[in-house]
Amino acid sequence: MSKIEIKKFNLYYTDFHALKNINIVIQEKRITAMIGPSGCGKSTLLRSINRINDTIEGVRTEGEINIAGKNIYEDKTDIDLLRRHVGMVFQRPNPFPISIYENVAFGLKVNRIASKKSIIDETIEKSLKAVLLWDDIRDKLKKNALELTLEQQQRLCIARVIAVRSEIILLDEPCSSLDPVATQRIEELMISLKEKYTIVIVTHNMQQAARVSHDTAFMLLGELIEFDETGKIFTSPSEKETNDYVSGRFG
């Protein structure tokens, strides 16, 4: 079942045409990877899915991005609600400089999802268990989140997204600041989470895309060159540009 449908989508930074007529259908409860050289538009496209690009001066868009059948670029869209359902995790972990507990509770309180302590406690435990962090920190919830390892901080950031009942998780190079061991753990986490969530990941690491994703989009100079099942993209792509990139001829 499709979760995200992008139709004839264009994005401009003032006069610069950053995304050019993007058409893509992302399926529910699958991991979709976006690959391509630096500056090709993959992070811009990812950030368009929850309209974070709106915060940049001079940005304008054309076309549609439909989530669960609704165009999120309609004027009546509740942006706060959209970003609650479509959570973003960035390249470098960005926990708040407060306790682990308050990091996860923050979204619950701000979005008025829960105010009763017992419900907040239950949601925090559930979210930290979902990211396989609970057993390590259950007795350290009052500890400042910045004292965690980078891998644990990234897991915490994913837990914050889960706590506010997001359905889609956007990951913008989530392992770029992590060592190989931590990267493997985050990849294993992604694979476990796709049972309940639709995940879209931007990555420069083609091996990572091959390991974790079901589908892969290859972008170049703001255009979607090819989108298909990951196995096909990496073994028998339809487009010469895709083949050149995945075979290491450029990029």
CATH code of residue 81: 3.40.50.300
Residue 28: inside a domain: yes
SS3 58: coil
Over its length of 251 residues, how does the chain's per-residue pLDDT go in tens digits?
Answer: 889 999 999 999 999 999 999 999 999 999 999 999 999 999 999 999 999 999 899 999 999 999 988 999 999 999 999 999 999 999 889 999 999 999 999 998 888 888 889 999 999 999 999 999 999 999 999 999 999 999 999 999 999 999 999 999 999 999 988 999 999 999 999 999 999 999 999 999 999 999 999 999 999 999 999 999 999 999 999 999 999 999 888 66
163 in any annotated domain: no
For residue 36, is it within any domain?
A: yes
Number of domains in the chain: 1
222 phi, psi to nearest 5 deg = 85, 0
- Structural domain includes residue 105: no
Range of the domain at 14: 2-92+168-246
Contacts of 55 (CB under 8 A, 6+ apart): none
CB distance 53 to 88 below 8 Å: no
Domain-embedded: residue 145: no
The pTM assigned to this predicted structure is 0.93
